[in-house]
Structure 1
């Protein structure tokens, strides 16, 4: 069991959820406020996507990310920031021509995916580690694209959170490590319950955990109703955890959640297991992250 838990809140995501829960933040102001809300509720890390303020749909705008980061940094509540690096990989074959993307496709090069991270240098960013049948679309991450993306993250000095949606993604992340494209102890996020990747159950989490490098830090999350069970299971198996409206819209059946409520519920669950949530300062020290105030890597345990 893990007695000190890094608790991430993924505050908005990029899915079509804004009409399903009024608490899903859309504008940069709302996303920044959601990150601060999560911090005040006890989260260690805020995982950030941005959306088009007019439509609520996907945005990759560096300026939207910049506004979120600046507003969170100006707040009086500390939190580690983890910007997504996983946008721009959605492919839906056109019904009349499978050689081109149809409605719903959204593709970017590795350099385009990395642009907000390279410009803003957050403490963490995500690096997805493989392709996936993502619902009715395909999420595309070819091996050479991932190598290129890993090199960009490495050159920026940002620590990647290695998002693994299936067991083969863990295998490829180990290959990135073997090729020298990951610095220090790797950080994994096991993403469970997304159709059609790894299932959100104990057997799957354990199998993926058992394939991690010996020096890995790891977390896991489940989507929907599996969110809180996977929090408990990850802690019991020695890992960290993630909640938030990107992954689950409900506090309990029929009751729509806010990000702060999900963090509070997860923190209470972690406390009931005899563990505690790490502060942002402790998280930076534990993962050896860059301090946004000084630009220097935090060494040692806080």
Structure 2
């Protein structure tokens, strides 16, 4: 399926994520205030959407604490800066297996059911929240991310009830297959919103040909954005835009602006803006992003 190049490109900034990156860069935001400050700076730099994880302020580890989400969201909303709010709902899917005894509890496991991944979404009602569309081996070792078809259908139905747009996170081709099934079943309100996540071990590799193939499998009318990790992040802005999609940058996925130069979220957004405009496209405002993605105000 041929897709026209997107002329109004929505830039999302993924502010902090949950990976072990805090000690690797002084710019990774940890506290709700730091996360909100980065969200505001990213919006001023040109991001229409900010994607929010929270971290435990003392340890820097990723957290599902609703109070931390509540404070970060309050600070962003109270700032008066217009930005589309995208909260992760992917936390709570981590399973670490003991190699000798697979049923033995292992440190690092944080596995809850579909609805227990959503209390912050239910309370705060963001514009968008993520729905990770399948299980897969998460890096080397014995860690898995668990998101079964039953879990996903339950989560998608709850998103519909709440009026929150799910961003369908796709880490491999089988997950895209299941996402299209949910769209066909009416569990995803039009227009569908898909995020093609590339280069996350061991999901889909960051290969331009594979990205093009996945885009060609998207149902008509579905909006997509894409990202890749590390040094592929900024070139991937162009890859996604040239295939008719939107773009994501941010410290969740990449800590560097160039070799040896640590990035900030705002600097990454500024670089993405330059790439988008250099391709002859326009950077979407938050209101234009709401129109493109079919969001309520």
Whether the TM-score (by the shorter chain) exceeds 0.5 is yes
Q: Is the 8 A contact 1:166 1:197 kept in 2?
A: yes
Q: How far has the Cα of 1:263 moved from its partner?
A: 0.2
Spell out structure 1 runs of 4+ moving beyond 4 A: none
Separation in 2, partners of 1:16, 1:179: 37
Q: Could you say which residue in structure 1 is the equivalent of 2:168?
A: 162
1:269 alignment partner, SS class: helix
Q: Is 1:284 paired with 2:290?
A: yes
Residue 254 (structure 1) aligned to one of 234, 238, 260: 260
CA distance in 1 between partners of 2:188 and 2:104 (Å): 33
| Matching residue of 2:52 | 48
* Aligned counterpart for 1:113 among listed residues 99, 102, 117: 117
How far off is 1:95 after superposition?
Answer: 4.1
Instruction: Give the conservation status (yes or no) of the 8 Å contact 2:191–2:294.
Output: no
Q: Which residue among 17, 20, 23 is the counterpart of 1:16? A: 20
Uncovered stretches (5+) of structure 1, i.e. residues with no partner: 292-302
Give the deviation of 1:201 after TM superposition.
Answer: 1.7
SS in 2 for 1:94: coil
2: distance between equivalents of 1:187 and 1:155?
A: 17
- Is contact 1:201-1:230 (8 Å) kept? no
**For 1:209-249, what per-residue CA distance to the aligned partner results, in whole angstroms no more than 9, with x for missing partners?**
01111110001000001101111010001000000000000
Q: CA deviation at 1:96?
A: 4.3
How many residue pairs match? The answer is 291
> Which residue is 1:242 aligned to?
248
Counterparts of 2:112 and 2:86, CA distance in 1 = 19
Q: What is the deviation of 1:105? A: 1.4
TM-score (norm 1): 0.94
Q: Select 1:126's aligned residue among 109, 125, 130.
A: 130
TM-score (norm 2): 0.96
1:93 aligns with 2:67: no
Which piece of structure 1 moves more, 97-106 or 156-165? 97-106
Comparing 185-194 with 134-143, greater Cα deviation is found at 134-143
Q: For 1:264 and 1:212, how far apart are their aligned partners in 2?
A: 29
State the shift of 1:46 in Å.
0.1
Matched, 1:221 2:237: no
Give the stretch that moved more between structures: 277-286 or 12-21: 277-286
- CA offset at residue 76 of structure 1? 3.1
- State the match for 2:205 in structure 1: 199
> Does 1:39 find its partner at 2:64?
no
In structure 2, how many angstroms separate the alpha carbons of the residues matched to 1:205 and 1:14?
24
User: Which residue in 2 is equivalent to 1:299?
Assistant: none
- Following TM superposition, by how much is the alpha carbon of 1:100 offset from its aligned partner in structure 2, in angstroms? 3.0
The answer as to 2:153 corresponding to 1:141 is no
Could you list the per-position Cα deviations for residues 140-187 of structure 1 after superposition, in whole angstroms to 9, with x for gaps in the alignment?
A: 111101111111111111000000000111110111112211111100
Could you tell me how far 1:101 is from its partner in structure 2?
3.5
- Partners in 1 of 2:283 and 2:200 — Cα distance? 26
